[in-house]
């Protein structure tokens, strides 16, 4: 069972509705800022829009060297159309499961590393210190992380832990994301006289057929093949008119061996001059060297929780690390959180209490280990 304080903090964070869109982290961030400040952290809240907030919390250390950083986001995806059996903001417990929107993705991790820092303050202050980077707006393309970087003042850090859901398995990287909005323009006309118009939906259909055969690039040894998915299409105003505009949005997931600028250029050339292409999200892939000394230390800490020997793994989703790593001095990075990856964005999302307890212990061990390997 997780520490009482960790469970209580997780439940409190889950009680806040931080669904994005529309995005409203204000009350949750203010609560957490107060909680951290009362426990000795130097806390800075920054706004990046109406009811949108990021938070930086620091515990300085006395030893020379760069601090350890944890990062997590407090916004969540919408509830979806399916009915929930459990109150998404009720923090209900059923057996080993703690239910709530954001339980796995990723408020449980935020609570676990915050409490681990409080419990290990002596080691932190005797060592190189700790920085917590808590963001909003991650679910819609790392908007909060981008604003946090633009606000300036981020320190160089010795290592970064991203608390996204991995069932406490250490993950050394994730795919990049390139989201594109494509648009075709036609000419409107009466639906009874389509020969007088140019149907933008037909133009989009031709473009989509080309996309079915488009390859973003070569496979990566660890991240395998890049993927492409058309996730949204919009066109036409009414049934009895020829549509003069159609938009469709493309989600491409990539690896470090692929350059987004090159992918976009190839895709644009293939679609031709009749299709305009706009970049919505451009997040590079993340991959730390598995032979890095700190990564090796993380593996050693995590190994007792897993029966089989640990091996290098990546996840397909993106994280704030895509943007934060360059701003933090490109430290080694591990993705490690108590959430269940399969529960992210699901109806009746939950986190296992046993995983939460493991994460609290793991984060504490990594805080202590950091002083010896960074």
Burial of 190 (0-12, 13-18, 19+ CB in 10 A): exposed
Residue 372 has pLDDT above 50, yes or no: no
Q: Are 322 and 146 in contact (CB under 8 A)?
A: no
202 shares a domain with 149: no
Residue 374 has pLDDT above 80, yes or no: no
182 shares a domain with 155: no
Residue 373 has pLDDT above 50, yes or no: no
* Last residue within a domain, chosen from 283, 309, 342: 283
Average predicted confidence (pLDDT) for the chain: 96
- Catalytic site includes residue 5: no
244 shares a domain with 213: yes
260 shares a domain with 202: yes
Residue 152 has what pLDDT?
A: 87
308 shares a domain with 254: no
Residue 371 has pLDDT above 80, yes or no: no
Smallest CA-to-CA distance from 218 within 181, 180, 259 is with: 259
* Last residue within a domain, chosen from 258, 283, 308: 283
CB neighbour list of residue 204: distance below 8 Å, 6 or more residues apart: 182, 184, 233, 235, 246, 247, 248, 275
156 shares a domain with 9: yes
168 shares a domain with 180: no
195 shares a domain with 159: no
Helix H or strand E encompassing 250: strand 245-254
107 shares a domain with 123: yes
In tens, the pLDDT along 303-358 reads: 999 999 999 999 999 999 999 999 999 999 999 999 999 999 999 999 999 999 99
Tally of domains within the chain = 2
Report the percent of the chain where pLDDT is more than 90.
96
* Last residue within a domain, chosen from 245, 260, 283: 283
337 shares a domain with 255: no
Residue 2 has pLDDT above 90, yes or no: no
Alpha-carbon span 157 to 148, nearest angstrom: 15
Q: What is the DSSP string of 147-169?
A: HHHHH--PPP-SEEEE---STT-
Q: Where are the alpha helices (DSSP H) in the chain?
A: 4-14, 26-38, 108-119, 121-126, 143-151, 200-211, 260-271, 293-302, 321-327, 353-373
Alpha-carbon span 28 to 17, nearest angstrom: 8
Selected catalytic residue, list 105, 138, 139, 349 = 138
- Catalytic site includes residue 75: yes
242 shares a domain with 94: no
Residue 8 has what pLDDT?
A: 97
Residue 153 has what pLDDT?
A: 84
| CATH number of the domain bearing residue 240 | 3.30.70.360
205 shares a domain with 141: no
CB neighbour list of residue 309: distance below 8 Å, 6 or more residues apart: 303
Q: Supply the range of the domain harboring residue 227.
A: 176-283
Residue 136 has pLDDT above 80, yes or no: yes
| CATH number of the domain bearing residue 170 | 3.40.630.10
Selected catalytic residue, list 75, 105, 349, 369 = 75
What is the pTM (predicted TM-score) of this model? 0.94
């Amino acid at each position: 069972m997780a520490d009482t304080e960790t469970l209580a903090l997780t439940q409190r964070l889950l009680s806040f509705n931080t669904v994005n869109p529309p995005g409203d982290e204000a009350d949750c961030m203010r609560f957490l800022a107060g909680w951290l400040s009362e426990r000795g952290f130097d806390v800075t809240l920054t706004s990046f829009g109406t009811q949108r907030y990021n938070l930086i919390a620091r515990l300085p250390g006395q030893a020379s060297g760069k601090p350890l950083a944890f990062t997590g986001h407090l916004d969540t995806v919408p509830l979806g159309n399916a009915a929930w059996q459990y109150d998404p903001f009720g923090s209900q417990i059923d057996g080993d499961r703690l239910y709530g929107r954001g339980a796995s993705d990723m408020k449980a991790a935020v609570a676990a590393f915050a409490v681990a820092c409080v419990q290990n303050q002596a080691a932190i202050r005797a060592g190189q210190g700790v920085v917590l980077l808590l963001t909003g707006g991650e679910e819609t393309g790392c908007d909060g992380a981008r604003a946090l970087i633009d606000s300036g003042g981020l320190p160089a850090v010795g290592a970064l832990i991203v608390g996204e859901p991995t069932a406490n398995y250490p993950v050394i990287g994730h795919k990049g994301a390139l989201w594109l909005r494509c648009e075709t323009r036609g000419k409107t006309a009466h639906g009874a006289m389509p020969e007088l118009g140019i149907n933008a939906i037909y133009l989009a259909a031709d473009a989509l057929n080309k996309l079915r055969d488009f390859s973003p690039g070569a496979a990566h040894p660890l991240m395998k093949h890049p993927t492409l998915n058309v996730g949204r299409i919009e066109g036409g105003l009414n049934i009895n008119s020829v549509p003069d505009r159609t938009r469709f949005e493309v989600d491409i997931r990539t690896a470090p061996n692929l350059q987004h600028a090159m992918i976009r250029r190839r895709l644009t050339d293939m679609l031709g001059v009749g299709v305009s292409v706009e970049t919505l999200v451009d997040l590079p892939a993340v991959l730390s060297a598995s032979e890095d000394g700190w990564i090796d230390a993380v593996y050693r800490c995590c190994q007792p929780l897993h029966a089989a020997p640990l091996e290098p793994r990546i996840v397909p989703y993106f994280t704030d690390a895509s943007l934060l790593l360059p701003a933090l001095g490109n430290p080694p990075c591990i993705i490690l959180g108590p959430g269940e990856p399969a529960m992210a964005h699901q109806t009746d999302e939950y986190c296992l209490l046993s995983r939460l307890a493991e994460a609290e212990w793991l984060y504490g061990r990594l805080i202590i280990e950091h002083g010896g390997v960074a």
